[in-house]
Amino acid sequence: MTDRRTTIKWMLAAAAAIPLLDRAAAGEVTASLPAPNGYGSDPNLTKVYRPGDVWPLTLTAAQRRTATALCNVILPADDRSPNAESVGVVDFIDEWVSAPYPRQLADRPIVLEGLAWTDAEALLRFEKYFADLDTPQQHAICDDICYEPKAEAKFARAAQFFARYRSLTVGGFYSTPTGHKDLGYIGNVPSSRFDGPPLALLRKLGLGPSS
């Protein structure tokens, strides 16, 4: 496994071309799931929406356990910020795979099949569900699928799932205030002056004077 900063680099590298799993399997998964409408053209912007208010959620309690454990392997707590679970990343993923829009509909079977594989692999190797494994056991499974180009052929589909799930986990985490703080992102903060990008950064990017 690796640290959070490397995870971000993986996410950005993979974002341009995330492979989808086999469409036939996707059809089997989505066939039994609800196909709700979106929120329409005029959502109530003064309402506080909670998970499940806009469309039915997809993940079962068992799937959420696996999803939570996997999120925390990808983004564990460290001395800078808490783990993915504590800022609601699983809620974000559940909302994402439940949404009735093209990208989300495509991701739904990938995530559901991947979570099922994760538990099946945990049971095969350790006779426990993934969420019940200790950290080294969880890492042993994830290490086999965490880098798609080097994954063994038998782990190819699982590696495709992990690439997408890692992207969703990181995207969910770093869209929260906690994630912003971890990145050092200050957003739209009022300032009395703007001095431009730091000179050292411009030089590193080859955009500033050399001396």
Whether 106 maps to a domain, the answer reads: yes
Whether 75 maps to a domain, the answer reads: yes
Whether 47 maps to a domain, the answer reads: yes
User: 147 pLDDT exceeds 50?
Assistant: yes
* pLDDT score recorded for residue 209: 74
Whether 209 maps to a domain, the answer reads: no
For the chain, the average pLDDT equals: 84
List the domain range (segments joined by +) for residue 101.
4-204
**Which pLDDT tens digit goes with each residue over 153-202?**
999 999 999 999 999 999 999 999 999 888 888 777 787 887 888 888 88
**Which pLDDT tens digit goes with each residue over 3-57?**
555 555 555 544 443 444 444 444 444 445 555 566 566 767 788 888 888 889 9
* pLDDT score recorded for residue 149: 94
Q: Please give the average per-residue pLDDT across 101-116, as a whole number.
A: 96
* pLDDT score recorded for residue 27: 47
73-78, Cβ contacts within 8 angstroms, sequence gap of 24 or more: 73/1, 73/135, 73/138, 73/139, 73/142, 74/7, 74/142, 74/165, 74/166, 74/169, 74/170, 75/4, 75/7, 75/169, 75/170, 75/173, 78/3, 78/4
> Among residues of the chain, what percentage have pLDDT more than 70?
79
Q: Please give the average per-residue pLDDT across 53-71, as a whole number.
A: 95
Identify the sign of the CA torsion 188, 192, 195, 201: negative
User: 122 pLDDT exceeds 50?
Assistant: yes
Bigger pLDDT: 194 vs 116: 116
Supply 144's token pair.
């086999």
Whether 210 maps to a domain, the answer reads: no
* pLDDT score recorded for residue 1: 54
208 in Cβ contact with 202 (< 8 Å): yes
Whether 211 maps to a domain, the answer reads: no
Whether 139 maps to a domain, the answer reads: yes
Range name among 17-21, 98-102, 105-109, 176-180 with the lowest pLDDT average = 17-21
How many domains does the structure of the chain reveal? 1
Whether 131 maps to a domain, the answer reads: yes
**Rounded Cα distance, 182 and 18, in Å:** 25
